[in-house]
Amino acid sequence: MSNRMPLIGDRFPELRVETTHGAMNLPEDYAGKWFVLFSHPGDFTPVCTTEFIAFERLRQEFADLNCDLLGLSVDQVFSHIKWVEWIRDNRDVDVQFPIIADELGVVSNALGMLHPGKGTNTVRSVFIIDDKGVIRIILHYPQEIGRNMDEILRALKALQTHEEHKVALPANWPNNEDLGDKVIIPPPTNVKDIKTRLEGAEAGKYKCWDWWFCYRDL
C-alpha cells in the first residue's frame, strides 16, 4: 500500500486488523456506528499513557453518541495487553476499547500515519469515521504534544449535529463567544433564496447579521 494521506470524504479503506479484542474487519465491523481511530507512537510512553487514560474516561460519552474508540500503534498485541494491565494496576483505569497491533505497518501506511522523520513510530493521528464508513475528520499531532479528547468529542457532536439538522457550527460551538450554542444556517446560493432568507428573518424564524450570515436556535 502507498503512504498516501486519505482525504476527508474518502471511504475508510477495507482492512483486516489484529487487536487486543481479536481480529476485526474495518470498517465493516463498525457498520451503522461511528468510530474514532487514533494512533499513538508507542506503548509504555508517558504522553500516550495519559492519552489512553483520558480516552477511557470519556469512552461512555463517545458510546452515548453511537461511537466506539479504537487505538493503534506498531507494537505487538502482547505489548498492548501488558500496557493496558499496567494502566489498570497503577492508574486504576480499565481501558476497555480495542487496540490495533499494526506490526507490519499496513494500517499506518494506508492512512499516512508514518512520518519519514520519525522512523517506524506512528504519529498522533485521529480519524473520525461516520456510520457509513466515511472519513469525516482527520487530525495530526506531533509526538511531543498530547491530544485534547474533549475537542475530539466536541467535533463528533458537531458533526452529528450537522448531519441531523443540516446546519453549520460556529467556532467553539456550543460555547461561541457571540452565538453561544446557536447554529448557523448555510448561506443562500442564488438571488431568490436571498429574498426568502430576509423574509424569514423578518418573520422571526431566525436572526441575521446580514443575508449571508443567519443563525438560529437548534
Question: Average pLDDT of 112-127?
Answer: 74
- The pLDDT tens digits for 10-39 are 999 999 999 999 999 999 999 999 999 999
Point out the catalytic residue in the list 48, 67, 208, 214. Answer: 48
At 120, the pLDDT band (50, 70, 90 cuts) reads low
Which one has a higher pLDDT value, 149 or 119? 149
Query: Does the pLDDT value for residue 128 go beyond 60?
Result: yes
- The three three-digit cell numbers of residue 166, written as one number: 443540516
What is the pTM (predicted TM-score) of this model? 0.92
Query: If we measure between CA atoms, which residue out of 85, 82, 109 comes closest to residue 15?
Result: 109
The pLDDT of residue 1: 41
Options 3.40.640.10, 3.40.50.920, 3.40.50.720, 3.40.30.10; CATH for 15-149 is 3.40.30.10
The pLDDT of residue 38: 96
Query: Does the pLDDT value for residue 145 go beyond 90?
Result: yes
Question: Average pLDDT of 132-139?
Answer: 97
Query: Does the pLDDT value for residue 61 go beyond 60?
Result: yes
Query: If we measure between CA atoms, which residue out of 141, 127, 124, 114 comes closest to residue 1?
Result: 114
CA 156 to chain centre: 6
Question: Average pLDDT of 48-75?
Answer: 97
Report the CATH superfamily, name and number, of domain 166-218. Antioxidant, Horf6; Chain A, domain2 (3.30.1020.10)
The pLDDT of residue 132: 97
Judge whether 48 counts as a catalytic residue.
yes
In the chain, what are the domain boundaries?
Answer: 15-149, 166-218
Catalogue the E-assigned strands of 77-199.
99-101, 124-129, 135-141, 183-185
* Phi/psi at 36 (5° precision): -110, 115
Query: Does the pLDDT value for residue 119 go beyond 60?
Result: no
Query: Does the pLDDT value for residue 177 go beyond 70?
Result: yes
- The pLDDT tens digits for 93-118 are 999 999 999 988 889 888 988 766 55
Query: Does the pLDDT value for residue 156 go beyond 80?
Result: yes
Report the mean per-residue pLDDT for the chain: 93
Query: If we measure between CA atoms, which residue out of 92, 24, 82 comes closest to residue 53?
Result: 92
77-86, 108-117, 145-154, range with the lowest pLDDT: 108-117
Give yes or no for a contact between 52 and 80, defined as CB atoms under 8 angstroms apart. Answer: no
Query: Does the pLDDT value for residue 189 go beyond 80?
Result: yes
